[in-house]
Amino acid sequence: MRTKIVAGNWKMNMDYFEGLNLFNDMIALINQEVTGKQHAVICSPFIHLHALTKELTNEKVSIGAQNAHQAEAGAYTGEVSAKMIASVGATHVILGHSERRQYFAEDGKLLTQKIDAALAHDLTPIYCIGETLKEREAHHHFDVIKKQLTESVFHLSATDFGRIILAYEPVWAIGTGVTASADQAQEIHAFIRKEIAHKYSQAVADGITILYGGSCNTKNAAELFAKEDIDGGLIGGASLKARDFVDILKVFN
C-alpha cells in the first residue's frame, strides 16, 4: 500500500499569527477526526516553519517549505537553503511548482540541483509537474510531463527516486476553480507510473506516491482520490481553511 498524503500549500498567505492559528485549528481537528493511516504535510511560508515544527505533536503531520535554494550557503541575498529548512525540523519541500517555474523562471536544470540539494539534507521533495492549457490543447501534455520527469528527477538512483513525492498539477487547474476530471487526472497519473516503471522498475513505480493538485476541494477530492493511481492531493486554496483541509484529509479515513 502506498502512503496516502494530503499536502497543503499555503503559498504566500497567512501572517505569523494567522498561520499559527490555522495550524492549531488543523491539529485539533486532525487529533479528533483523522482515524486512518493517511499523512498530512503542511507547507507554510518560511516564517512559520520553526514555530510549526515546535508545536507539532501529531505524528500524522509533517511540516514542509515551498521552495529551497540549490546552494548550501553563500551570497544569495534573500534565499533560504535546504540545509536551513532541515535545521528547523521541517521534513518536506515543494519544488517545481508551476508558479515558481512561471514567475521565477525555474527550469529543469535548476530544479535538478534543487532536488539534489533537498535530498542531500534529507528533505522529501514534493516535485510538481503539469502542462499549461496551451500545451494540453496542442495535445502535448504527455510530452511535457515526460520532459519534466526526465529533466529533473530521472537522474536519481532508484533508491533516491523512492524518496520523492510527485504531484501532478495541470497549470490550467491551479487556483482557477477548474479541476481536471478524475479520469483526466488518472490518465496522467497512470502515464507517470508507466514512465517510472520503464525508467526504473515496476516496484519503484508501484511504491511512489503521486498527488493530484489544482482546485482540489472538499467536493471533488473523494472522486479524485478513489482513482487507482491518485494517492492524495496537493491543496492550495482549500488548505487555508482548517475545516476544508481536514475534510479532504478525511477522505482516507
Q: Which residues are catalytic?
A: 97, 169
Q: Give the type of residue at 142.
A: F
Nearest approach, Cβ of residue 104 and ligand PGA (Å): 14
Nearest approach, Cβ of residue 75 and ligand PGA (Å): 31
Q: Give the type of residue at 45.
A: P
Q: Does 234 bind ligand PGA (CB under 6 A)?
A: yes
Beta partners for 41?
7, 62
Q: Which of 235, 246, 248, 251 binds ligand PGA (CB under 6 A)?
A: 235
Give the separation between CA 164 and CA 153, rounded to whole angstroms: 9
Give the separation between CA 114 and CA 94, rounded to whole angstroms: 10
Q: Which of 5, 9, 69, 124 binds ligand PGA (CB under 6 A)?
A: 9
Region of 17-25, 29-37, 44-52, 167-175 interacting with ligand PGA (CB under 6 A): 167-175
φ, ψ (nearest 5 deg) of residue 158 = -60, -40
Q: Does 36 bind ligand PGA (CB under 6 A)?
A: no
The contact pattern for ligand PGA, residues 200-229, with x = CB under 6 A and - = no contact, is: -------------xxxx-------------
DSSP per residue over 100-142, as a string? HHHHS---HHHHHHHHHHHHHTT-EEEEEE---HHHHHTT-HH
Within residues 170-199, the interface with ligand PGA by CB under 6 A covers 174-175
Angle (nearest 5°) at CA 80 between 77 and 86: 160
Q: Which residues bind ligand PGA (CB under 6 A)?
A: 9, 169, 174-175, 213-216, 234-238
